[in-house]
Amino acid sequence: MCLFCKIVNKEIPANIVLENENFLAFHDINPKAPVHILAIPKLHVDSFNEVTGETMAKMTEFIQEIVKEVKIETSGYRVITNVGDNGGQEVKHLHFHILGGAKLKWGHFSDADPKDFL
């Protein structure tokens, strides 16, 4: 069982922001912004490559509820999902990073040289 499935099953504690019958949102333990929340489906899905359109439609509504709950819907935020090893996915359970609470920079790509990736 993966780490996030254990959080869903309440086997591992998490600082929960919002929860419904299909999804769970909790604060990231290694935040990259003043607000850094992870939103996950309760049903295990490995990554964005395997998610259904129906689940994504519901996830969109859930993320919109989260940003209202933490009051960043008007100031702005970023939603990111990483897919696979090259995409930086560390936990093989679909999750969306919701970052906000400050003016966000582009981060690791701001000083990247494209030739390093060719």
Q: Does a structural domain hold residue 43?
A: yes
Mean pLDDT of the chain: 91
Q: Does a structural domain hold residue 104?
A: no
**In the annotation, is 95 catalytic?**
yes
pLDDT value at 10 more than 90: yes
> Which residue range forms the structural domain that includes residue 60?
1-74
Q: Does a structural domain hold residue 24?
A: yes
Task: Report d(CA 67, CA 62) in Å as an integer.
Answer: 9
Give the pLDDT score at 40.
98
Name the band, by pLDDT with cuts 50, 70 and 90, for residue 114: low
**Number of folded domains that form the chain:** 1
Percent of the chain scoring above 70 in pLDDT? 90
Catalytic residue among 27, 36, 95, 108: 95
5 in Cβ contact with 93 (< 8 Å): yes
pLDDT digits (tens, 9 = 90+) for 37-70: 999 999 999 999 999 999 999 999 999 999 999 9
Q: Does a structural domain hold residue 8?
A: yes
Structural tokens at position 95:
């999750």
CATH number assigned to the domain comprising residue 32: 3.30.428.10
Give the pLDDT score at 108.
56
Name the band, by pLDDT with cuts 50, 70 and 90, for residue 118: very low
Give the pLDDT score at 106.
74
pLDDT digits (tens, 9 = 90+) for 75-86: 999 999 999 999
Residue entry with tokens 């922001």: 17
Q: Does a structural domain hold residue 116?
A: no
Q: Does a structural domain hold residue 6?
A: yes
Q: Does a structural domain hold residue 45?
A: yes
Q: Which residues contact 43 (CB under 8 A, 6 or more apart)?
A: 22, 55
48 in Cβ contact with 94 (< 8 Å): yes
Q: Does a structural domain hold residue 47?
A: yes
